[in-house]
Structures are given as C-alpha cells and as structure tokens.
Structure 1
Amino acid sequence: MNILPLKKRGLNTSRLVLGCMPFGGGWNSDPVTKEDETQAQKAVEAALSIGISMFDHADIYTRGKAEETFGRILKNKPGLREEMVIQSKCGIRFAEGDVPGRYDFSKAYIGEAVDGILRRLGTEYLDVLLLHRPDPLMEPEEVAEAFGRLKAAGKVRYFGVSNMSAAQIRFLQRALPDQLAVNQLEMSLARHDWLDQGVHVNQKAGTSVNFSEGLLEYCQMENIQIQAWGPLAQGKFSGNLGESEPEHIRKTAELVGKLADEKETTREAIVLGWLMRHPAMIQPVIGTANAERIAACKDAERQAELMTREEWYSLYVSARGSFLP
C-alpha cells in the first residue's frame, strides 16, 4: 500500500495541505483587519473539519502577516499546535532600497529567517522548513551548518526544498547528514509539464518542455515528498473560468464537471483526485482561504482511489490540448 513519504518519516500529516498564503490581507504594510482574522479562522476550521492537519506557510506570505495571523489562531486555542504539522519556507528576500529582490541561503539569513517565522507563529518549532527557490550562490556546506544548528536547537524537525531540480537537490544533499524530506512544485491539470517531460522522451515536442528531467522519479526513489502548489489551477476547472481561456481548457472544465456530476462529488475533488491518482503520492497544497472551497476538497482522496486509468488519461489529454505522441 502506498504511504505518504512524510508519514514514513513519522509526521502525522494529512493527504491534503492547506496553504496559508492568502492569510493576513494584502502584500503590504497595512495592519491585519478583524475581517482578515475571521476569514483565516474559518479557513483553518474548514480544513480541520475535513481532516487536514498540515498547514503550509512562507515568511514572505503577505509580508509576514500570514504567519502572524495564524499565530493568533494558535494562541487563542491552546493545544491546537500539537494537532498540526506546520511547514514554512525561507530564502526569498524583498527589494530594499537600491538592493533588488533576491534569494539568500546564507547561514546567517536562514537562522534569522527561522527565528522570525517562529516568533510570528508563536511556536517553538517547525515540523518542516523548506528553502523557497534555488539560490545561485548556494553553498551546500553552509546550508548544512545552518540546518544542523536549527535541528540541534529543536527549532526544525525536517528540511526540504521548493521549486528545485533533481540536480540541485543532489548537489545540496551531498552536504547534508539527513535526507531532504520535501520538494514543492507547481503541479495541476493546467500545469502538466511534469508529465509531458516523461511522455516526450525521444520526441521533438520534448524540446519545448521546461521541467527537470527525472525529477519525479528521483523524488520517488529517495522518499522525498512531492507537494503540489497551485493544484486547483486558480479554479479554472471548478467554476472560475476566464473568458480568454483557450478551447481545450474550456473542454477540460466541462469534462471535470461531467465527472463530478456522474460521481456525485465536487469539481475540486476531481481536480485534486487527478493529481493524487499519480503513484508519486503527490500531496496537494490548497491555496485558498475560502472556507466553502476548502470544504469542497473533502472527497479528493476517495476520488483518487476511484479514478480509473481511462478517466485519468481523458483529463490529461484534454488538458494538454493535443493527443499523446
């Protein structure tokens, strides 16, 4: 039986993750409003009600306000923290004066960033810390030292990455004593190059695919949890279809609706179930603060189990907008 790689490591995580990027209002210095706090509270309650126990953050989300808002929720309900698996990310720095936005995997910055994350969340530790985007100046030994200090201090239990290739992970891994636990990537019915890369081997069409060769296979072999950000594709297939979307996206949305009606479930469950049907045990990170939309994802795991090979391929080929080679 397939088991989530994070569960194999001892983390009692759910099959779905709630992404907390929308929490805290806008990406500005405006204070968090009561309405922002209420929306976040309802989102967390909706997630817990459908069995979600893992929550995904990043220090940059709404410029730190997402973590602060979540921290207030934890403070108002003692004991809730121990029921959760909390993950956050660091490594992206905003522009400051004449200094442009950049990535920073330096030892000093990683330590500083984690202290800020813990302070905003009001917790003593993170279950998982991810490096947000590849830093061209990364020195694996320096990252390893930072990770070692954080683990020894009890501030972080597991470490991972986001948006990294197989080669980048291997390069970093060579300096780490512990196996990286997570790689978070954009994956959805609308972003399917992670599949195209494989089916286009020895095909001219493959020259236009921009996805790390062998990344899925590498993560599966090394027991690295693949997480999918943007798994609902901004709602394109579940009711938020823009007027300018191409015909094949419209037809895919119709197919999602047809399957949802036939199976007496939601469109969200079909879209997520398609991702979760893949043997890589992909863990979708739902990026919405809408409580109703979160609740609509409840049936996703069951739909993944029920989805036939023919249904899965029908969705994939439709979303591609072209037949398989």
Structure 2
Amino acid sequence: MRTMKLGKSTLEVPVVSVGCMRINSLEKAEAEHFVHSALELGANFFDHADIYGGGTCEEIFSEAIHMNDDIREKIFLQSKCGIREGMFDFSKEHILESVDGSLKRLKTDYLDILLLHRPDTLVDPEEVAEAFDILERSGKVRHFGVSNQNPMQIELLKKSVKQTIVANQLQLSITNANMISNGFNVNMENDAAVNRDGSILDYCRLNDITIQPWSPFQYGFFEGVFLDNDKFPELNQKVNEVANKYEVSNTTIAIAWLLRHPANMQPVIGTMNEVRLKDCCKASEISLTREEWYGIYRAAGNVLP
C-alpha cells in the first residue's frame, strides 16, 4: 500500500483509511478475519467515532484485532467525537469524556488522531483548546483534526487551539463533487457555481490539511452507491471502460479518481467486504491520466463551462 504524510504531522499513513462504522454488522469471526486481512493489505489506518454503534464498533474492533501493545504499535487509530443525541457538543467536558470512553473501548492508552465530528455552533474555542491541551499533555491524543468543517470554522478554532489541524473529513465522491465543481464555475450563473463550503478544497491544500473523503461510493446523502446503478449509465460505462484498461474493478477506479487529485486525499472506505477492500487498496497503484480523470468527472453529469 502506498503511503502519505498526514497533514503537517510526521505520520506516514496508508492512502486508504478503513472506516469501522459498520463493523458491528459482522459476526465475531468475520470481524477478526476482516481486520487482519486489512493489516495484510497494509491498510492499518482505522477510522472510528464514539457514536458508531453506540460505541460498540470500537469494542468489536478491539476484540477483533486482539489489541495488545505489539498490535498497537503497528496500527493508526483515529476516532471522532462531538455528536450527541439531538445536539452537537464541543464542550471541554464532553470531549474529554468521549476520548476516555473511546480509549477504554479500543483498549489503548492513546489515539493517533482525534477529529471533532460535526460543527457545534455553540463551540467555545477556548474550551476546545483546554481539552486539546489536556489530551496532548496526558498523551491520550497525539494529533488533532476536524470533520465536516468549512474554512472559517477551522479558523475560529485556530484562534485558541495551538495544535495543528492535520485532517478534515468531508463528503466527496465522483457524484458528490461540489467542492471541485464550484472551482470550475467561478462567477458562473449555474448551480455548480454555488460555493457551499467556503472553498474548503483550496483552503485545505493551502494549509496542508489532509482531506479524508467519506462515502466515496455514495450519491446524495446515503441514497445509495453509484457503481452498477442504472441511474448512472454513462458514468458506469466510463468507469468500466477505464477499469478494463487497467484490468481492475470499477471499485478500484472510483477510489483512484479521488487519489489522482493533487490535494493528497485519504479516502475513508466503509466496506466490510474483504474483496472490495482489496479492490480499494489496489487504487494506490494506479494513477489516472488527466483525460481519464476528466472523462469520469464529465460522465457523472458534471459539466465543464
């Protein structure tokens, strides 16, 4: 598996992250086999959140990987906090409690990365800074990031937070590519020109923040996958054409499309299927041509001005 630097950190991580939101859908033996298959593929970066399965996903993962000191040194653990029932919460108290809960469930003393899950409009940057300082000093968290945040929300945090923001987890796929499309349609009078995220793509590139695309196979907001979907005939025809050229699956090409972007992204793969995970990992070996990348982009219905 090809590796990359995560943001401005010294972490050398795989270009594909294994999302563990659905690990609670597996039986115990299946979870063990999946996790260890991921390790064999070099996919040793695991993404969690305190809310996944109500916390059970972190517990299932630690059991499946047989967490111990030797294993812990070979993997990267990332978790997220800030979503509570009916609200978002970036209070100092909640951040600290969430991290302690994740550490207990994951059976580890530290997280490599902690992300703030979704923006809390009641956030007090000074409280976040206090929480981050405590977590860093105690060794419970080594690096920090955000999820689903725009540039000004990150700048607001940076007003008080001294730690470097290394990652921003954002929804992005071939069919959900507004952060790319609005850059093509500057000052145009069409829907693609609508800047819905404050130019977060360029902001992250300028500040060396790694974008971690979530739901890289989804269209809409968890409406379904676009691969092999009759709703996207032109896109699937083009993706399959490119896949045949490289002798890989369409899954591989969908991830290779994201990895081709010079923003140096790290897609979060949510599959619990070992074959599909292997196909995703193969994407690290492929570099699409400019013509192939733009061809796939246009086949998804994206129009160049």
Query: What is the TM-score normalised by the length of structure 2?
Result: 0.93
Instruction: Pick the aligned partner of 1:143 from 99, 107, 128.
Output: 128
Deviations 1:291-323 (CA, angstroms, capped at 9, x unpaired): 1111111320122x2x1111100000111x153
Q: Which ranges in structure 2 are unaligned for 5 or more consecutive residues?
A: none
Percent of residue pairs identical: 42
RMSD: 1.9
Task: Say whether the 8 Å CA contact 2:4–2:12 is kept in structure 1.
Answer: no
Larger strand share, 1 or 2: 2
Per the alignment, residue 315 of structure 1 pairs with: 296
2: distance between equivalents of 1:224 and 1:47? Answer: 25
2: distance between equivalents of 1:322 and 1:258? Answer: 18
Query: What is the TM-score normalised by the length of structure 1?
Result: 0.87
- Aligned residues, how many? 300
Task: Say whether the 8 Å CA contact 1:165–1:215 is kept in structure 2.
Answer: yes
2: distance between equivalents of 1:81 and 1:175? Answer: 31
2: distance between equivalents of 1:211 and 1:46? Answer: 38
Match status 1:287 vs 2:270: yes
2: distance between equivalents of 1:141 and 1:121? Answer: 28
Task: Say whether the 8 Å CA contact 2:19–2:268 is kept in structure 1.
Answer: yes
2: distance between equivalents of 1:191 and 1:7? Answer: 23
Q: Which ranges in structure 1 are unaligned for 5 or more consecutive residues?
A: 26-34, 95-100
Deviations 1:148-200 (CA, angstroms, capped at 9, x unpaired): 00111110001100000011001111211122111000111121111112111
Shift of 1:76: 5.6
SS, match of residue 143 in structure 2 = strand
SS, match of residue 80 in structure 1 = helix
Per the alignment, residue 6 of structure 1 pairs with: 6
SS, match of residue 27 in structure 2 = helix
Per the alignment, residue 75 of structure 2 pairs with: 84
Task: Say whether the 8 Å CA contact 2:7–2:208 is kept in structure 1.
Answer: no
Within-5 A mapping of 1:1-325:
4-6=4-6, 8-25=8-25, 35-75=26-66, 79-94=70-85, 101-206=86-191, 209=194, 211-233=196-218, 236-239=225-228, 241=229, 243=230, 245=231, 249-303=232-286, 305=287, 307-319=288-300, 321-325=301-305
2: distance between equivalents of 1:273 and 1:105? Answer: 34
Deviations 1:269-305 (CA, angstroms, capped at 9, x unpaired): 11000011001001100011111111111320122x2
SS, match of residue 10 in structure 1 = coil
Shift of 1:3: 8.0
Deviations 1:111-135 (CA, angstroms, capped at 9, x unpaired): 0010000000000000000000000
